[in-house]
Amino acid sequence: MDSLYIFLILIAGIVLILVFFLRSKWVVKINYQFPEMDNMQISVFFYNWCVLKQKNLRISSQKEMEKGYIHFYKLLREKKLHLLKELRFQALLKEIKVLELKWSTKGGTGNAFSTSITSGTIWALKGWLIGYLTQQLDFCKSPQIHVQPDFQNSSLQTRFSCMISFRLGKTILGIMRVLKIKEVKK
C-alpha cells in the first residue's frame, strides 16, 4: 500500500513539474549589428533566470542564403512542397509578446538624390513590416524604428534588438499546428 502512495506522489510530482514547465514564461533577447558583427547574439531567460547567455549564431553568407531561397522556391514552383492553405501562423503569433523592438539603420549611397530615395524606401519597408507585425503580434511597447540618411558616404549600418516572451506549452501546440507541411508525390 505504501508503494502505491509513493508511486502516486511521484506521478503527481512529475505532472506538476511538467505543467509548471509547459506553462512557464520564456524570454528571448536578440541583438544584431551590421557590419560590426558577423553573428547574432541570443540570450534566453526562464522567468528571471538566464538559461543561455549571448550565444553567438553565425549568419550565413549571402550565397548560402540565396541557395536556400532558390531551393525552397523551386520546390514551391514545381509543386513538390505543398503548404496547407491554413497554416494557422496567426494562432502561433498571437501567443508571442514583443516586449521591446528597436531597429535603426544609417546609410547612404554617396549621392544625395539616390540616398534620399533609398532612405524613403527603407522607411516604407520598415513601416510596412512593423505595421504587419503589430497586427499579428502583441506589442507591450511601441516599436522604435529609425532611418538616418548619410548623404556624404556610401555605407550601410543597421542595429536590431528585439525581446520576446512566450509560454512554452502554447508555443509547442502552435508549432505542431503550423508544421503540417507535406511532400506531394507526382
Q: What is the pLDDT of residues 27-38, one digit of tens each?
A: 888 888 877 666
The verdict on residue 124 lying in a domain is yes
Number of domains in the chain: 1
| pLDDT, mean of residues 52-75 | 63
| pLDDT, mean of residues 109-121 | 89
pLDDT at 186 over 50: no
The verdict on residue 1 lying in a domain is no
The verdict on residue 4 lying in a domain is no
In this prediction, residue 86 carries a pLDDT of 44
Per the structure, the complete domain to which residue 69 belongs is given by 25-183
In this prediction, residue 3 carries a pLDDT of 80
* pTM for this entry: 0.65
The verdict on residue 6 lying in a domain is no
In this prediction, residue 184 carries a pLDDT of 42
CA 173/CA 171 separation, integer angstroms? 5
The verdict on residue 128 lying in a domain is yes
Are 109 and 153 contacting, i.e. CB atoms less than 8 angstroms apart?
Answer: no
Residue that wins the pLDDT comparison between 3 and 79: 3
Q: How many helices (DSSP H) and strands (DSSP E) are in the chain?
A: 5, 9
| pLDDT, mean of residues 123-135 | 89
Q: Using alpha carbons, list the distances in angstroms from residue 132 to 93, 122, 170, 182, 185.
A: 12, 15, 22, 27, 34
Per-residue pLDDT band for 99 (boundaries 50, 70, 90) equals very high
